[in-house]
Amino acid sequence: MADGTSTSGFDTVFGDIPEIKFEGPDTENLFAYRYYDKDQVVLGKRMEDHLRMAVCYWHTFCWDGYDIFGAGTFDRPWHNPANDREAADRKMAAAFEFFSKLGLPFYCFHDVDVCEYSPTPDELSNNLARMKDRLGAYQDETGTKLLWGTANLFSHPRYAAGGLTNPDPEVAACAARQVRECLEVTHALGGSNYVLWGGREGYDTLLNTDLSRELENFGRFLAKVVEHKYKIGFTGKILIEPKPHEPMYHQYDFDSASIHGFLQRFGIDKEVHVNIEPNHATLSGHSFAHEIATAVSLGVMGSIDINCGNYQNGWDTDQFNLDIRDITLALIELLPSGGLDTGGFNFDAKVRRQSSDLSDLFHAHIGGVDALARALLSAADLLERGDLAKLKAERYAGWDSDLGQFMTAGTTSLADIADRAKAEGIDGTHSSGRQEYLENLVNRSLK
């Protein structure tokens, strides 16, 4: 803050790093945005309102750089306090200082991210209640808003076999309690959405898994979450985050299409939307754009956890997504549907373990923000030129012809179509799909 201290009285941790501002593409300042000009109007809307960007708490403030082969590597002053409570408080002060310096409108958290270590359900409830008030005070002071909250149902050892799909109802009851409390805190903080990522909702082996029962339990619990949302008057969206595997060998929320089928089965397909993550899309063998197009088409598009994997190994490496073309391809599917409503772009991404300085956190986010802004400008150019849409319309124009209308009429049978094809000698000549031409149009528009 202006006097060098944060709300809580802790010293600033990013003191020597300036506020990140838009300076334009020609700036040599690497602590500035070159493309993200939040007030620039693109396709009739401010960039900030299109992108609704959020910083995530977990990768950026909780992780100390440990991996399964080695200890933490990061310089994070808030990780070295006198006690757990002070660590959590310092972490929150650092987080809001960071959000403010980046000038991004939103943040996201798991319940356990914002609390001190809370091994029992009662400790977590009490700590979350205390932190809710602190979060609220920081939100008021800085103007940063909550894009979504979520309950972590995968880190505590009790959740080794899942949360809401656990074979033991006592564990599932703990999960339900955590979801209820985190949804209520999200509501109290004015969150725009509530996320359920089924981290361990799946299985490692069918030998010990009653798949039918777990899916039934999962669907029933989700319907209760929706019911509770209405009961407390939460107007945000409930989101499920697809991911096909990791940590479980198989996860039930495989991709957007399978989630939609699952929601339909439990009668909540109009109530629950998806939070799409590019790295999860590629893990399931899809592109980011495919997942967006599918969610838009099924009416379940919610929000985006922006990141990307590594092209060589395909793991969930959660890297900052700098691939302007890949994001552009997703945006041209998203924007014509009206874009993000309550959703946003949450940086569910982490710096590499060797990027151990505090300044690396800034460079990572600045790069991610500018990549989104460039993709938005590129997508806007493509959409405004309209040539892709025109070619697509021409490709499907036959369905507006007499034959097309006849075939899609509800009263026409398979035999009717076959008889007509035979009678008219229809031979179905192929027309070029012009893929390379279209790919060149995309590259032409990249900014």
Please report how close the Cβ of residue 305 comes to ligand XUL at its closest, in angstroms.
5
Q: Clarify whether 430 is annotated catalytic.
A: no
Closest to ligand XUL by CB, 150 vs 319, is 150
DSSP string spanning 81-102? -SSHHHHHHHHHHHHHHHHHHH
299 Cβ neighbours under 8 A, 6+ residues apart: 269, 270
Q: Which of Co ion, ligand XUL, none does residue 252 bind (CB under 5 to 8 Å by kind)?
A: none
Closest to ligand XUL by CB, 163 vs 219, is 163
From the list 37, 89, 111, 113, the catalytic residue is 113
Q: Which of ligand XUL, Co ion, none does residue 150 bind (CB under 5 to 8 Å by kind)?
A: ligand XUL
Closest to ligand XUL by CB, 33 vs 347, is 347
Please report how close the Cβ of residue 59 comes to ligand XUL at its closest, in angstroms.
8
Q: Which of ligand XUL, Co ion, none does residue 243 bind (CB under 5 to 8 Å by kind)?
A: ligand XUL
Closest to ligand XUL by CB, 270 vs 352, is 352
Residues making contact with ligand XUL (CB under 6 A): 58, 110, 150, 195, 197, 241, 243, 277, 305, 316, 348
Q: Clarify whether 113 is annotated catalytic.
A: yes
DSSP state of 373: H
> By CB under 5 A, what part of segment 332-351 binds Co ion?
348
Torsions phi, psi for 15 (to 5 deg): -45, -45
From the list 50, 110, 290, 365, the catalytic residue is 110
Q: Where are the beta strands (DSSP E) in 53-171?
A: 53-56, 106-110, 145-150
Q: Is the dihedral of CA 32, 361, 240, 105 positive or negative?
A: negative
Task: Take residue 142 and report the two structure tokens written for it.
Answer: 């800085």
239 Cβ neighbours under 8 A, 6+ residues apart: 148, 193, 194, 195, 196, 272, 273, 274, 275, 302, 303, 343
Site string for Co ion, 359-398 (x = CB under 5 A): ----------------------------------------
Question: Are 239 and 275 contacting, i.e. CB atoms less than 8 angstroms apart?
Answer: yes
* Contacting residues toward Co ion, per CB under 5 A: 277, 305, 348
